Structure 1
Amino acid sequence: MIVNYTAAGWEIIYQQAHALLATQLAYAWLPTLPPDRWVGLLAAITQHDDEQAAWRGRGGHYGLTAAGAPANFTQKEFSLEQATGVLAAARFQGRWRSLLTSLHLSCLYEGLRGQKKELDGFLDELRTRQQQWRRELKLSKKEADQAYTLLHWCDRLSLILCRHEIPEMARAVEIHRGPDGTMYTLAQPEADGPVVVSPWPFQAAEIEVSVEASVLTQLQFADDAALAEALRTAPIETRRWVLRRG
């Protein structure tokens, strides 16, 4: 979950919903790949945060902090189960989708190398399979990395929006380098106004994207079951952003 503290309590955005927002952003780009590869890239973006751990047991506290607040995804430890699960699911959609997903997993977790033997083995396996898939798909490392960069770019921009990380006072923040190596930035010149992305990467001169968020007014929960019940009955609001050429 992405958890934001607000004046009303908590705003919860599921990671799968954040991934769908990232796909909206990718869909707005001018396609840079053949149709089959482009659709595979969109699928990888949509599903890159799937296979999240289920909350089990009435007394469990997986979704909570020690203080009983909803736990943001950054407060959770690396889950090898989730990582292997999302890669296993990707394989049913082919080598291209698998390659993109494995590149994302390497990007996220290579920095953890050396902490656990089983994690190192997983990271080594990712490298081996990436080489195999590139060879079988007749892709250079540069071509694969360039396609993956768009996934990373859209993931990053979606997180900036979902986590309320747009700076105040019209200050700019870096998004990420795009597939062409250009560094993109965003700023919001007017509070609650359009978000300006520079340089402009999308086909249309203006786009609108959205994500659904659950609103909780209760600040603490006894266990996962209480949090899950609150989320099932929580009001859902749609967060929208207009992105505009600078």
Structure 2
Amino acid sequence: MIVNYTPTGWQIIYQQAHALLAAQLLHQWPAFLPPERWVGLLAAAAQHDDGQRRWDGRYALTPAGAPADFTTKEFSLEQATELMRQARFQGRWRSLLTSMHLAFLYTDIQDQHPGLAPFLAEQQQCRQRWRRELKVAKAEAQQAYALLQWCDRLSLILCRHELPEMERALEVSQGPDGRRYDVARRAADQAVKVTPWPFAAAEFSVSVEASRLSQLQFRDDEELSQALRQAPVEVLQWQLRAPAG
């Protein structure tokens, strides 16, 4: 979950919903892959946070009983393995992109978690085999994944309300073309601008659903889950507009 504190409680965005927002952003880029691989890239973006662990006990809560933001949760080899298992059913291209995402997230922490280093080593071998079988150059795969990672990052910036005030710019990440991209909120109309503008359309909107909770603490995961099932849902929407000139 992405957990934002509000004056009246919590705003909860499921990670799968954030991933769908990333796919909306990716959909606005001019396609640079064959159609079947472009669709596969969209699928990988939309599903890159699948395989979440079941809420059992206090997995979804902080020690104080508050909803736990995903950044506070420890790495789960079970989730990573399940994500790759699900990707397999959509083919080698989706599996390749998903495996690249796991390597991006976890390579730097592999010495901190038992079983992670062997898992990543196995994934590296799988990626080499998939690229060979698909006749995909490593640079081509990296360009595709760079776009997925870029859209993932921008989606997180929006979902976590990280846009600075007073039109100050925040770096998104390096795009698939190797360029740096910055994002800011326009003071005049609150539209989101990305510089340089990478999208096909000069203006478009994206959205994500969020649940609103007024209860601050919960006994266990089941109580939180029940509250979320009954919580009102709001649609967060952003208008993205190309910089003037």
1:141: how far off? 1.2
**Unaligned 5+ runs, structure 1:** none
Tell me the equivalent position of 1:119: 116
Question: Does residue 108 of structure 2 align to residue 107 of structure 1?
Answer: no
Alignment identity in percent? Answer: 64
Question: Structure 2 CA distance, aligned partners of 1:113 and 1:31?
Answer: 34
The AA in structure 2 aligned to 1:108 is L
Question: Structure 2 CA distance, aligned partners of 1:142 and 1:28?
Answer: 22
Q: Which moved more, 1:40-49 or 1:113-122?
A: 113-122
Question: Structure 2 CA distance, aligned partners of 1:155 and 1:224?
Answer: 27
Question: Structure 1 CA distance, aligned partners of 2:232 and 2:188?
Answer: 25
Please point out which of 219, 234, 238 is paired with 1:237.
Answer: 234
Question: Structure 1 CA distance, aligned partners of 2:188 and 2:67?
Answer: 28
- Normalised TM-score (structure 2): 0.97
Question: Structure 2 CA distance, aligned partners of 1:163 and 1:2?
Answer: 7
Question: Would the alpha carbon gap of residues 191 and 105 (structure 1) be closer, same or farther in structure 2, given more than 3 Å must change?
Answer: farther
Question: Does residue 30 of structure 2 align to residue 46 of structure 1?
Answer: no
Pairing of 1:1-246 with structure 2 (within 5 A): 1-56=1-56, 60-190=57-187, 193-246=190-243
1:191: how far off? 7.2
1:169: how far off? 1.5
1:13: how far off? 0.1
Question: Structure 1 CA distance, aligned partners of 2:98 and 2:163?
Answer: 27
Question: Structure 2 CA distance, aligned partners of 1:107 and 1:192?
Answer: 36
Question: Structure 2 CA distance, aligned partners of 1:3 and 1:116?
Answer: 25
1:21: how far off? 0.3
Question: Structure 2 CA distance, aligned partners of 1:116 and 1:215?
Answer: 34
Aligned length: 243
The AA in structure 1 aligned to 2:61 is L
1:192: how far off? 6.5
Question: Structure 2 CA distance, aligned partners of 1:192 and 1:64?
Answer: 37
1:137: how far off? 1.1
- Normalised TM-score (structure 1): 0.97
Question: Structure 2 CA distance, aligned partners of 1:66 and 1:13?
Answer: 20
Q: Deviations over 1:73-117 (max 9, x none)?
A: 000000001101011111111111100000000000001122234
Q: CA RMSD in A?
A: 1.0
Question: Structure 2 CA distance, aligned partners of 1:192 and 1:240?
Answer: 14
Question: Structure 1 CA distance, aligned partners of 2:226 and 2:30?
Answer: 42
Question: Structure 2 CA distance, aligned partners of 1:203 and 1:103?
Answer: 26
Question: Structure 2 CA distance, aligned partners of 1:191 and 1:226?
Answer: 42
1:143: how far off? 0.9
Question: Structure 2 CA distance, aligned partners of 1:195 and 1:188?
Answer: 5
Stretches of 4+ moved more than 4 A in 1?
none
Question: Structure 2 CA distance, aligned partners of 1:116 and 1:69?
Answer: 26
Q: Deviations over 1:172-220 (max 9, x none)?
A: 0000111100111011121771011111111110010000000001111
Q: Helix, strand or coil: the match of 1:231?
A: helix
Question: Structure 2 CA distance, aligned partners of 1:48 and 1:189?
Answer: 30
Question: Structure 2 CA distance, aligned partners of 1:136 and 1:228?
Answer: 43
Question: Structure 1 CA distance, aligned partners of 2:156 and 2:66?
Answer: 21
**Unaligned 5+ runs, structure 2:** none
